[in-house]
Structure 1
Amino acid sequence: MDRASLRKQLRSNRQSLSAEQQLAAAKKLSSVVCSSEAFRHSQHIALYLANDGEIDPGFIAEVIWEQDKFCYLPVLDQKQPEKMYFQLYRPNTRMVENRYGIAEPELDLEKTVKAEALDLVLMPLTGFDEQGNRLGMGAGYYDRTFAFLENRSKPILMGLAHECQKVSSIPAADWDVPMKSIATEKQLYGEQVQ
């Protein structure tokens, strides 16, 4: 199956989950992620706000705040459409809608950090395989932002997904940045990083 067809099928899988299933999955995901070595050893953690049936990392954000870690959200640049920043996110952060209708912090370059300064990035995905390949929504924001990782070990990239988004093999593209691990409501796949 080609990437576009696979993306459509896997988006449908996650969109078909009920609100109760989504809530239960989000709680279980938080337990899986927050007990991981990668999470425990990280201070600067980026995540996303769930959209389009994505598994919700909202409970993880609460743990980040409770443990006095720093939480960041991706923010798209309005003038340079291909550029993505990571900005500090707190419970009282002023939010605005981006061009996709997704809430994000109002861009304040003084509150952004370089992607290289993050310890752990919890990334949304449309599909994944156990080899760490990720199928995103197709815009390439994360792949462009983390292309530098070919020569570095930090930040750790952990994909987040519903178990129903797992497939045996994702057709990888040259520009795809692989994940160190993928967490679902059921388990953590891939490398445990100390």
Structure 2
Amino acid sequence: MPASPSSLSINGSHDSPSRDQLRRELRRRRRALDSRQQRRAAHQLVQRLKSLPEVQRARRVALYLPQGGEIDPTPLIDWLRKRGAQVYLPVLKPLSENRLWFVRYHASTPMVRNRFGIAEPDTRHGAHRARRLPAWALDLVLMPLVGFDAQGNRMGMGGGFYDRTFAFTRWRRPKPGLIGVAHDCQGVAELPVAPWDVPLDAIVSDRRIVRPRVRP
């Protein structure tokens, strides 16, 4: 019986590949999913997210628009709004070192592509500038992951945007809840962890919910 992807290291052995090798392989896994698999995974993800107390009570929620095979959290938006929650998207913060701020999002929000080709709210519009929030003002953040492990460790794209933006959560209370989301095929047995990796409150995939052994 073949081993599941999460039971092995990335090359099928128990050797630890480099973070870059691991990142490339995990991105390949999610891009290999077809549109039907993506839709099913998004539905299953959202059902699990709805069951979480921190999602149910949040009133200011940041999520993201998927790209490159990322699991899609946007089916959660209507449910959040019906519960009175406001939805925000990340925007690259100008004149900062790889940090984000967050802008209120509606279907009519004007969008532009940032320097990475990712769609984000156009903050050149005065109304949308007024709707910006700093990271500490959010209740909950759903962040895309490249990989995760059974201990609740995470791997991002490598730019450090979320780590820099939410570094304050190590010492500041109250803090927003941080939930990483990913396809289950992006799970591995163990991830290399860097000192700057911001810990999460939970990781949710289309098949499971992972809580860190020690809550941040």
Corresponding residue number in structure 1 for 2:161: 141
Question: Which one of 145, 149, 162 corresponds to residue 125 of structure 1?
Answer: 145
Name the Cα RMSD after superposition: 1.4
**CA displacement 1:72-102 (0-9 Å, x = unmatched):** 1000134446231111111211111111111
Alignment of 1:74-153 (within 5 A): 74-80=90-96, 82-107=98-123, 108-151=128-171, 152-153=173-174
How far apart are residue 164 of structure 1 and its match?
A: 0.2
1:175 aligns with 2:202: no
Structure 1 runs (4+) greater than 4 angstroms displaced = none
Counterpart in the other structure of 1:190: 211
Offset of residue 154 of structure 1: 1.7
- Matches of 2:174 and 2:96, distance apart in 1: 27
> How many Å apart are 1:14 and its aligned residue?
0.3
Residues 1:156 and 2:177 are matched in the alignment: yes
What letter matches 2:111 in structure 1? M
For 2:180 and 2:135, the matched residues in 1 are separated by: 16
Q: Give distance in 2, aligned partners of 1:123 and 1:4.
A: 20
Unaligned runs of 5+ in 1: none
Aligned partner of 2:194: which letter?
A: A
Q: TM-score, normalised by structure 2?
A: 0.85
Question: Which residue number corresponds to residue 46 of structure 1?
Answer: 62
Q: TM-score under structure 1 normalisation?
A: 0.94
User: What is the percentage of aligned positions where both structures have the same residue?
Assistant: 44
Question: Is 2:37 the partner of 1:21?
Answer: yes
Structure 2 portions without partners, runs of 5+: 1-16
Match status 1:66 vs 2:86: no
Q: 1 CA distance for matches of 2:175 and 2:97?
A: 25
Distance in 2 of aligned mates of 1:158 and 1:77: 21
Q: Aligned residue pairs: how many? A: 192
In 2, distance between residues paired with 1:181 and 1:57? 15
Is the CA contact 2:99–2:162 (under 8 Å) kept in the aligned structure 1? no
Deviation at 1:174, TM superposition (A): 0.8
Name the SS for the 2:106 alignment partner.
coil
